[in-house]
A and B are shown apart, each in its own frame.
Chain A
Amino acid sequence: MKSFQRIILPFIAAVVAMSAAPARAADLSADEIVKRSIESFYYAGNSMRARVSMKLINREGKVREREMTILRLNLGKSGDQRYYIYFHGPADIKGTSFLIWKYPAKDDDRWIYVPTLKLVKRIAVDDKRSSFVGSDFTYEDVSSRDLEDETRVLVRNEDLGGRPVYVVESKPKTPADYSRRLSWIDRERWLPLKEEYVDARDEPLRTYTADKVEQIGGQWAVTVRTMKNLQSGHRTEVVFRETEYGVGIKEDIFTERYLRDAPAQWVR
């Protein structure tokens, strides 16, 4: 019996200790790192509500602003998601809203509601690299990106601003506006803290930075972020306020009914 204890118990203890230990670079592939990063950045909590301010700033410092409410719901393990984005301002687009049905394995479904025409219109779906409302962020940056769209390698581990990070290089499988992308991903919180996009001529294209990271309801979240276009000098600053996770939004909110008539409980 003693020999059993001598052999088995340390083995069990070692297994438990290994499974509880933080993952290390040697343990995870670049794909696994990016997968966990997407889960933390785009899938945190089962659902989310946030009031978001976006500033679009051109090279001369002229500012345009977008104020919106973003709602998100994850649909089980399929990876499908629903997004609802309502614009509070500026006045010219107040009441405009977007609905996105996001699928990891196929093109998204997207609708826009134009309040002055009371018109719900589907938007062509093959434009995830298009600018989101004129900002430096793309639709893909706002809703989730697909793991299958890129190949990637783990370049190195390092520290960034006092945080341990993986540095991952990703390349799009089909031609895109960027040829490769370097991501600095927090090794413990799994959030992307910085990204650099490079164009086909190997010139720096865009830079994303996580300017403020906070813990909200047990989830680590990037609450202030900037995307800067290094070639045009244009940049977009985004502040997430009133971020809530696990808020219990029902799936029927993400339908034409509420696209036409913003749900007062959530859009405020």
Chain B
Amino acid sequence: MGALKLGRKAGDRATRKYFLVGVSSAFFVTLAPPATAEGISLNGFVQSHVAARTSRVDCADGTECDFPAIDLRGELAAEGKDAAGNAGFLGRFDLLRDIALAETRLETRELYGDLNSEKLVARLGRQVITWGVGDLLFINDTFPKDPVALFTGQPLQNFKLGSDALKLNAYTAPANLEIVIAGFRPDNTPTGRRFVLPDPFPAGLPRRIEEPGNSVGELEVSARAYRYLDNWELSGYASHTHFHTQARRVIAGEVVGTYPRLNTVGASLTGSALKGVFGLEMGYYESVQDREGRDPSIDNSQFRGLIGYTQQPWNDATLGLQLYGEWMRDSHNYRETLPEGFPVKDRVRKVTTLRFTQLFAHQTVTFNVFTFVGLSENDHYIIPSLRYAFSDNLWAEVGANVFGGNRNGTFGSLQDNRNVYLTVRLGI
């Protein structure tokens, strides 16, 4: 389970993976009733993907400059369910030849088993979990993500990383409950191997990452309760988790990246209104290891909120708008303690997004543009794409990742990484 080529956190993560493989295997054995099996379905694809940098920039040694992503990927997915639907499994594996980084990896995207009863469902193993009502904006979904995949134009399915978790669902009359107990898995954040990024730390200092360990106390627990109110859906969320991006600071002459504890609580509401779909989500991020907001290396506690509306202006078209805000709780303390030379974050970060999708030619051609506009940071990120399905099994997509605006902004800081991409996928 996981990468054949193990990185610097190999020992720690490998131990956890083998533990999970062991537990998952035991789980699968308990639910394998071959006499009643419906059979196993297999499918997959082969895919080539290339992203070419269009920004004119002098890259540092060790950064893939012209082509930050070139890869060949083969995916095989197997799934099965017993006839009564009481047990099932799914495995989705990618064999990846990463030409840009000259690596070959076997990635377990998903591998889980299910046990179902009328009121209770248990799922154990690596699984993708998506919560919330935002479109590419996440508040109560604190599960691991892959911004590298997004920023290099990989298909959207690669944006969500699987969590190694036990998920329990209880279906009760007042509300449905979902509880997720997961091991830590970081986001795949951009690094200097593919990206040109501003780095406020001195270039010569060694770097080190400390990931949360395997003890019970380091597990992440998230819960969601949800129900319909007429035809509206109301959800409440709470998580005892970690930040999945690094908090970095200099300790004894080296830059140490850690993943501090994070508690979140929030709610969402979505339903039909005004000939469209309306969504509202909010949450509070309690930065457990920096409650006073005086540690500039750790994100301050925040309120986050978004409001979204999607409508179909005409046939085969979708228009979506979102307004998103992050309110830093202890802005004064943050500014007081921020070292010189570090970019100052706004007290309120405001972002608006726009999605427009139009399908043509019996939905064989898809034009899509998704735009982030940083209203407070004066930056933007535009993702136009055009996909053509040659047949049921073969499609190609061209697109771009256009970052721009204020270089201190979240998106503007990525503007040396503008790229165009091409993906071709053949289903098997």
Contact = CB atoms under 8 A, between A and B. Distances in A.
Interface of A: 56, 58, 62, 64-65, 89-92, 94, 101, 107, 109, 114, 116-119, 122-127, 129-131, 133-136, 177, 234, 252, 255-257, 261, 263-265, 268
Contacts of A90: 392-393, 427
A130 B316 contact: yes
Q: Which label, helix, strand, loop or mixed, suits the secondary structure of the B interface?
A: strand
B114 A94 contact: no
A126 B362 contact: no
A134 B364 contact: yes
Given A123-B277, A261-B121, A263-B85, 14 more contacts: A90-B392, A90-B427, A91-B427, A92-B45, A118-B127, A118-B129, A119-B130, A122-B271, A124-B275, A124-B318, A131-B315, A264-B81, A264-B84, A265-B84
A133 B362 CA distance: 8
Interface in B153-207: 156-157, 159-160, 169, 171, 176
B83 A124 contact: no
Contacts of A123: 277
B276 interface: yes
Contacts of B43: 91, 94
B160 A117 contact: yes
A127 B272 contact: no
Nearest to A136: B362
Nearest to A94: B43
B311 A124 contact: yes
B231 A101 contact: yes
B107 to A, nearest CB: 14
Contact of B363 (A107, A119, A131): A131
22 contacts: A64-B391, A65-B392, A90-B393, A92-B392, A92-B395, A109-B272, A118-B160, A122-B270, A122-B279, A124-B275, A124-B277, A125-B272, A125-B277, A127-B312, A129-B315, A133-B363, A134-B364, A136-B362, A257-B169, A263-B85, A264-B81, A265-B85
Nearest to B311: A124
A256 B315 CA distance: 26
B99 interface: no
Interface string B376-416: 00000000000001011101000000000000000000000
Nearest to A66: B392
A263 B83 CA distance: 10
Closest 4 CB pairs of A and B: A264-B85, A134-B363, A116-B157, A90-B392
Most chain B CB atoms below 10 A, which of A124, A257, A261, A265: A124
A117 B392 contact: no
Contacts of B116: 261
Interface in B339-370: 359, 362-364
Contact of A92 (B84, B312, B359, B393): B393
A136 B362 CA distance: 8
Contacts of A118: 127-130, 160
A116 B311 CA distance: 24
Contacts of B45: 91-92
A263 B85 CA distance: 7
A125 B310 CA distance: 9
Given A90-B392, A109-B272, A127-B315, A117 B130 contact: yes
Contact of B38 (A114, A126, A264): A264
A264 B83 CA distance: 7
A62 B130 contact: no
Given A131-B362, A264-B38, A107 B272 contact: yes
